[in-house]
A and B are shown apart, each in its own frame.
Chain A
Amino acid sequence: MPESEALHASHRLEYPYARSVGPVIGAFLTGLRDGRLLGVRGSGGSVIVPPTEYDPDTGDDTGEVVEVGPGGVVESWAWVPDPLPKHPSDRPFAWALIRLDGADTALLHAVDSGGPDRLATGDRVTVRFRPAAERIGSMADIEAFVPEGGAA
């Protein structure tokens, strides 16, 4: 390599973050660990899922915890033919915004439909949790959503 050319080196950056979740996010994650989907009621009466400490429309504190799902409606979706290494599925899947039954906002997660021709906006899907022993209180406790009726 000529003297004028720049050197190169690979390097890895790692942050072992552990975040305090607080009572609202904590309630949702506790629900996931326990196999339930929870939202929270906003100041205008809407149910926000996943729950936030404040109503995104008004900025007011949110109120009571509300159980939602386990089924819901696909509001939009995007088919991933070649999943990336950190994606939640190692085989082709859809990202979807899912409005769970009883909720007024949508949750982002993976849908395991088996193919892009087996999913459409407006379809009903239902949650597939990991086994209880593997659940720790994180979004990964949901393995994926699947078409209602078990198409996949």
Chain B
Amino acid sequence: MSAVAGRRTPRPVSIASFAQARNVRRDDEHNEVEMLMPVVAEVFGTIGITKDDIDFICSGSTDYLIGGPFSFVTALDAVGVWPPKSESHVEMDGAWALYEAWVLLQEGEIDAALVYCFGRSSPGNLNEILALQLDPYYVAPLWPDPVSLAALQARALIDAGKATEADFAAIASRSRRDALDNPKAQVANDIPAEKLLEDEYIVSPLRRHALPPITDGVAAIVLAAGDKARQWSKPVWITGLDHRIETHSLGARDLTSSPSTARAAEGAGVSDGPIDVAEIHAPFAHQEIILKEALGLDETVVVNPSGGPLAANPLMSAGLIRIGEAATRISSGRAHRAVAHATSGPCLQQNLVCVLEGE
């Protein structure tokens, strides 16, 4: 154990089940309830439980994406919450909804939670919607889009001598090649990095390949503790979970590093043992370099075998999907100990780190 002040061994909680929709550029046929229902049915069905086995529900979404109020309330119809359930919602990626459910499970009064999230990026204009998460006085009035802000970070990384455009292309090439084995991926192909470097700049120094796709997608996880953890599935234990945030002021941050990720990694105990696989929520290719360093991962760690967010980036879901993908690597026997990461805000402002371990 590392010496983090106040850190204690958490109550063992298992990722009992994980499901996600096939990630697509645009699902303009279904509402949120209709997108979620099959995924909720699958996340229960694969371990043979029903909503009646669940003690608590927490979801992650943002109404800004569809421009309609209270979609997070109507989405509960996908689960069925009568008689009334204990329920909560975060205006965050589902990974933070999982964090809330995990904290409640730590209290020891409940043993099972459903976490779900949904993000339809297609109805609106993400470049404008994501500007609204920025400082409303100094930054949002200029309407900087997420690609431009990420490009400022990528340039800083290049100027600091920590990466080159060829590195970005190599990450994009590898991610989308790995995604060929992921039936839920949106963008999967086998294009060599040298070829990708012929892409045009969207906002320099970011070429098209270094950007995430725009994705509609939903995902769900069942968390289990106590007897249920073993009854429902072969346990994949959460051995550490932490999240940290940095100032919203971009100009006050060193964009070439991620101290909040490093702190969360320490809190979650990433370095307590060897890591086999990492699922990293790096929507822009260059961010994988920053995050690998902050997580303390060396070259032996398999990064984003699912293809990661460069293969599918459903807002509000891509972080929870990292946790689900990492858990799946363990439950299928391809890894023993994994780290999953989720991010939120511009240029990796807020970061969550989850360490998972098989038996």
Say whether B28 faces chain A, with CB atoms less than 8 Å apart.
yes
Q: Least Cβ distance of B135 to chain A in Å?
A: 8
Which residues of the partner chain B approach A45 to less than 8 Å between Cβ atoms?
none
Interchain CB contact under 8 A, B249 and A56: yes
Query: Please, which residues of chain B bring their CB within 8 A of the CB of A78?
Result: 148-149, 151-152, 154-155, 203-206
A21 within 8 A of B: yes
A129 CB–B CB distance under 8 Å: no
Q: How far is the CB of B59 from chain A (nearest CB, A)?
A: 22
User: Are B137 and A106 in touch, CB under 8 angstroms?
Assistant: no
Residues of B within 8 A of A52 (CB): 249
Contact yes or no, A76 B159, CB < 8 A: yes
Q: Is A80 at the interface (CB under 8 A from chain B)?
A: yes
- A interface, over-half SS: mixed
The residue of chain B having its C-beta at the shortest distance from the C-beta of A98 within the complex is: B251
Q: How many residues on B have C-beta within 8 angstroms of the other chain's C-beta atoms?
A: 37
Known: A78-B155, A106-B251. A25 touches B204 (CB 8 A): no
Which listed residue, A6, A25, A95, touches B152 by the CB 8 Å rule?
A: A95
Q: Which residues of B contact A21 (CB under 8 A)?
A: 137
A75 touches B252 (CB 8 A): no
Q: Contacts of B139 on A, CB cut-off 8 Å?
A: 108, 139
Given contacts A25-B137, A116-B204, contact A77 B143 (CB under 8 A): no
Partner of B144, one of A11, A25, A95, A116: A95
Tell me whether B141 and A138 are in contact (CB under 8 A): yes
Are the C-beta atoms of A76 and B155 separated by less than 8 Å? yes
B351 interfacial contact with A, CB 8 Å:
no
- Docked Cα-Cα span, A7 to B33, in Å, equals 16
Q: In the complex, are the beta carbons of A76 and B153 less than 8 A apart?
A: yes
Of residues 145 through 175 on chain B, the ones whose CB sits less than 8 Å from some CB of chain A are 145, 148-149, 151-156, 159
List the A side residues contacting B252 at CB < 8 Å: 48, 56-57, 105-106
Complex CA–CA separation, A97 to B148 (angstroms)? 11
- Closest beta carbon of chain B to A84's beta carbon, Å: 6
**Interface size classification for chain A:** 35 or more
Chain A CB within 8 A of B127 CB: yes
User: B128 to A139, Cβ gap below 8 A?
Assistant: no
State the CA gap A50–B138 with chains docked (Å). Answer: 7
B3 interface residue, CB < 8 Å from A?
no
Does A110 lie at the interface of the complex (its beta carbon under 8 Å from any beta carbon of B)?
yes
Contact with A along B70-110 (1 / 0, CB 8 A): 00000000000000000000000000000000000000000
> In the complex, which of the residues A5, A25, A57, A105 contacts B29, with contact meaning CB atoms closer than 8 Å?
A5
Q: Does B8 contact A (CB under 8 A)?
A: no
Question: Are A107 and B67 closer than 8 Å at their CB atoms?
Answer: no
Residue B195, interface by CB 8 Å? no
Contact of A6 with B127 at beta-carbon distance under 8 Å, contacts A109-B142, A116-B204 already known: no
Chain A residues with Cβ below 8 Å from B138 are 25, 28, 50, 107-108, 139
Provided the pairs A56-B247, A56-B249 are in contact, do residues A76 and B156 lie with their beta carbons within 8 angstroms?
yes
- B136 at the A interface (CB under 8 A): yes
Q: How far is the CB of B67 from chain A (nearest CB, A)?
A: 4
* Cα of A84 to Cα of B117 in the assembled complex, Å: 29
A105-B249, A108-B251, A109-B142 are known contacts. Are A84 and B136 too (CB-CB below 8 A)?
no
When distances are taken between beta carbons in the complex, the residues of chain B under 8 Å from A116 are: 204
A79-B153 in contact (CB<8A): no
Query: From B137, which residue of chain A is reached at the shortest CB distance?
Result: A25
Bound CA span A87–B136, Å: 15
Interface set, chain B 186-242, CB cutoff 8 A to A: 201, 203-206
CB distance from B166 to the nearest CB of A (A): 18
**Which listed residue (A11, A28, A99, A121) contacts B251, Cβ 8 A?**
A99
A121 touches B159 (CB 8 A): yes
Is B250 part of the contact surface with A, judged by Cβ < 8 Å? yes
Contacts of B205 in A (CB 8 A): 78
Q: Would you give the shortest CB distance from A16 to chain B, in whole angstroms?
A: 14
Instruction: Check A63 for interface membership: any CB of B closer than 8 A.
Output: no
A residues in contact with B153, CB < 8 Å? 76
Q: Are B156 and A75 in contact (CB under 8 A)?
A: yes
Task: Bits for A1-44, please: 1 = Cβ < 8 Å to B, else 0.
Answer: 00001101001010001010100010011000000000000000
Contact sample, A vs B, 6 pairs, CB 8 Å cutoff:
A52-B249, A80-B203, A84-B143, A108-B251, A121-B159, A138-B141
With A50-B137, A99-B251 given, can you name 10 additional A-B contacts, CB distance below 8 Å? Answer: A13-B67, A19-B137, A21-B137, A49-B251, A84-B143, A87-B144, A95-B148, A105-B251, A109-B142, A140-B141
